[in-house]
Structure 1
Amino acid sequence: MECWEKKPRNLGGSLPVPNVQDLAARPDHLTPTLLRRYLRPHHLPLPADDHHAMAMIPVVDFARLIDHHEEAAKLRHACEEWGFFQVINHGIADETVEEMKRDVMAFFNLPLADKAAFAQQPEWIEGYGQAFVTSEDQTLDWSDLYFLTTQPPSYRDLRFWPPETSSTFRRSMDRYSLETQRVATELLRAMARNLGLRDADKMTRLAAAQSMRMNYYPPCPAKERDRVLGVSPHSDAVGLTLLLQVSPVKGLQIRRGDDWIPVDPIPGALVANVGDVVEMVTNGRYKSIEHRVAVDAAQERVSVAAFHNATFGSTYGPLEEMVGGGEARYRSISVEDYVRLVVSSKLQGKNILDAVKIITNT
């Protein structure tokens, strides 16, 4: 398996859009013409008001996964039936988490001109701005993001990282990214055991590379806020995502059948979700799930999503052991081509998986 030491260039970028944090702070700048770019055609389906459903979202005790069959069974159920679960006792030190939260909030609290020094460039989505904007007429998400490639270190583009002389951000990110990569690797190893794979590397390689999407969702001052979303409904086009809730405001909702179920993060836990790549390599046995982010009327929400993938030079495709005597549901694709596909698309349901599905006549 080839592993490229450096990230390829010119993988694709996103069109520039207004800074939403600035619009929320100065609502007089949110003209009707500009607001229309954020409004969905209709009122959004309301989330399920069902505390029982919220309580059913699986919880996996990371510390018990290796030696307890019951915990492994919980992980299997979460991957097969939900695609989402909360990870407790993950072993990341409270100090590491709190430092990460502090420095992410400090970044978003910088003046706009200071954040703009780390603005995205046309050839890639790394930096401060927005992603998946492919046309001038698509509906925009009410959020800003700060996106960095974090692992392996050779993939980093330090142009987009605050300098060590001005903040502790690099140190905090380095510690947190290594710890979340460790957790993701061990979760994928446990998935490999559950799947009966002879070689766990077929799954753990999906955490060899990592990127971080730091999200800022300001309150929306418009009266039509019930037609605004922080992030459009989508499934994650990665291997495994680990989400850290930075602020206490809820907003994440997952799709289950016809309902949208709010996720109430457990204090100290990480919210994990199966990505499209895991669905692909397991040939559909583990499912990625659509989710969205709602916008609060009065409070900001901040989160950090750690995305885990294989390194460049690798290939995604159904594992032979998962296909067995049946048919592969997805075609194989290089990691580089897959990333180009993802970056050139907008967030829309499971459109990335649809693009790599093998269509049969049966």
Structure 2
Amino acid sequence: MSNFKASTTSVLVPTISCHAWNADRSRVAVCPNDSNIYIYKTNNSEDFQKWEVEHQLTEHDHLVTAIDWAPKTNRILSCSQDRNAYVWTYDNNDKKWVPELVLLRINRAATCCKWSPKENKFAVGSGAKLIGVCVYEDENKWWVSKMIKKPIKSTVLSVKWHPTDNSLLLCGSSDFKCRLFSAFIKKADEGKEVNKFGTCIAEYNAKGWVHDVEFSPSGNVVAYIGHDSTVTFVDRANGDKTTVVTIPELPLRTGIFLSENAFVAGGYDYTPLAFSNNGGEWKLNGKCDLAPQEKAATGGNVRSMFMKFQQVSTVTATTRHHNVINSILPYKSSGNNVTVFSTSALDGKVLTWQVSDLEKGLEGFKV
């Protein structure tokens, strides 16, 4: 496809490892694959040639692994390989972002982080086989963590909250599992505790590292991305009906639901892939910017995958992104449906994609 109404393809920084938008998309935070976070003022433009650096956050000592910007409270959450996380609050008087201490108490890198729906707590995954669920202590003026441990057996690669339930937390890890936990904390959650904190409510299998996990807008469908070039969809409202979609391409890294019946994910092939649910079965619809010479499927065997890796490493990419996509986020929405999404990649670009163009260009795809 070549008819996207999209942002410029100029490079913002040499490389980007993650990005996060504020509520009105007037600002974006990006990590240039190091210990810094840059906040750009976008002037509500999708053309980042018009963007300007407004702030630089430098508290971390090692690579920043994840950023999440809370839309209601306007607080930025970041975590890093330095085993720390910070909550950044904007000081209107001094015109700067002030970090607040988070007591994670982990001895390995922090790998992922996410605000809860009410934004009164957050989760941080780590290489220590732990998830820290953090709440604020007014008396000490810091964020303190309560740990989810068993049965996680390896590095936590992704954490996501249920879209409406402040106590349900989904995680993916490199022990080939996607798990749903109770993260109920009395101080932050209302109502009765249905499951004790740390209870593993559900566990789903994969055949590779689980790079990313996602809830659908209703929370009824779970999707998780495996390093074995699969995306697995689990319908929790329909007896955990499971559909495994194998892609004939390189593995994916990250994805989001565009609606209850549409999903998009990106990774090592430099282009997002679109998936849809028609008649109760999830399927792959195709690439979002398919290059003409790539229209023929390469097949899904080990030999074809190896050849694909060789091609990617030696041939200049004809896709809009020229390196691995590592972050996909909603950019514009209508109700529960995403109408425009953004991607960032190791090529230093932040791009936007019109979902309406996907509906026109991909057979059978509909949000």
Do the two structures share a fold, i.e. TM-score over 0.5? Answer: no
| TM-score under structure 2 length normalisation | 0.27
Structure ranking higher in strand proportion: 2
Structure ranking higher in helix proportion: 1
| TM-score under structure 1 length normalisation | 0.28
Higher relative contact order (CA 8 A, sep 6+): 1
